[in-house]
Amino acid sequence: MYLYKLEVQLEDKEVVLIVMGDSDEEVMHEAEVHINKHFIIPPFIREIVLIEKRRANKGSAYVIEK
């Protein structure tokens, strides 16, 4: 299992997702699902970029600055 840090470019903003999964393909699909669930009106996704991939071990984390 891995933790993936993704940047998602929507029509009007950029969001960051942390998704856990076994493969890049699975995580990209799950990212789309979670974005569509999060917003009342599903946004147009311009691009999903894989920023970082780490093994999901106890204590694994990302620091996200704004």
Q: What is the mean pLDDT of residues 43-49?
A: 95
Is the pLDDT confidence value at 66 over 80?
no
Q: Determine the 3-state secondary structure of 7 from DSSP.
A: strand
Domain limits of the chain? 2-55
Architecture of domain 2-55: Roll (3.10)
Instruction: Single out the residue of 14, 41, 45 nearest to residue 29, CA to CA.
Output: 45
- 16-28 pLDDT, tens per residue? 999 999 999 999 9
In the chain, the amino acid numbered 43 is P
- Joined together, the tokens standing for residue 59 give 């204590």
Give the pairing type, strands 14-21 and 45-55.
unpaired
pLDDT band at 64 (very low <50, low <70, confident <90, very high): confident
